[in-house]
Amino acid sequence: MSFMMTGNTNRWNNSDLLVPRGKKRAISKGKKVMVNIYLVRHGEAEHSWADSTDSELSTLGHQQSQSVIRHFKGQGPLKIYSSPLLRARETAAPLAKELGASVFIDDRFKEIPTEVEQKDRRKWLQGITSLRWTEVSPKLRDWRSNSWGALATIRHDTVIFTHFMVINSLIGQLQNDDRLVLFQPDNVSITHLLIDEKGSVRLKSLGQEKATLIN
């Protein structure tokens, strides 16, 4: 297993890119495209998001990361992407080792950026989760757009180890829902996106939900 930095959205031919909601890409006549994208929320962190900027996994989180292997056992070749944050990378590591795959690190799958000091993070987060994207700062809207842009570079079946707010922002864009938080993905829950034969990106299934700390 190795970790590789990425973030270059031009590394593949544009004809192979996923496309934003409401748009389609041209597909050769008779050619069917079926790309699976799996959004995996990281395992339980040792410290909460409000208390640590980059926590490692807890003992339970490491156990949860091993469970991800079972879900993908027997599937075809998979690319693996991860947020650069330690809890996401540690969750990705067991699957990458099992598959003998590299982990591509992409900043655009990193958790939502905060706009306050560390001591005020919990209160800030509680304040924004009930908002809509039209009500937040341009900085946060840019973060959301960048997360979608990262998704739009993928053309192979891919597993992305990421975070609570990233998953919510991507699903919101797919469903044309302007709320910051639509659902409560559990640790190591797997949300499945699909590019169908028409080239449209859609939601196949949401990951398991459970009320947990954003960590």
Per-residue pLDDT, 201: 79
Per-residue pLDDT, 78: 95
3-state secondary structure at position 1: coil
- Kindly tell me if the per-residue pLDDT of 61 is higher than 60: yes
Per-residue pLDDT, 26: 40
215 inside domain? no
Q: What is the pLDDT of residues 68-98, one digit of tens each?
A: 999 998 887 999 999 999 999 999 999 999 9
Name, in order, each residue with C-beta under 8 angstroms of 129's C-beta and a sequence gap of 6 or more: 180, 181
Comparing 134 with 28, which gets the higher pLDDT?
134
Residue 194 sits in a domain whose CATH number is: 3.40.50.1240
Name, in order, each residue with C-beta under 8 angstroms of 136's C-beta and a sequence gap of 6 or more: 128, 180
Per-residue pLDDT, 34: 84
Q: Residue 193, exposed/middle/buried by CB under 10 A (0-12, 13-18, 19+)?
A: buried
Could you tell me the two tokens for 107? 């900043």
64 inside domain? yes
Q: Name the average pLDDT for the chain.
A: 84
Count of domains in the chain?
1
Per-residue pLDDT, 16: 33
Q: Which of 16, 19, 3, 6 is nearest to 148 (CA)?
A: 19
172 inside domain? yes
18 inside domain? no
9 inside domain? no
Per-residue pLDDT, 215: 59
Per-residue pLDDT, 27: 40
Per-residue pLDDT, 31: 55
- Identify the domain containing residue 85 by its residue range: 33-113+120-205
167 inside domain? yes
Cβ–Cβ contacts within 10 Å for residue 26, how many?
A: 7
4 inside domain? no
Cβ–Cβ contacts within 10 Å for residue 142, how many?
A: 11
Helix axis angle, 59-72 to 86-99, nearest 10°: 40
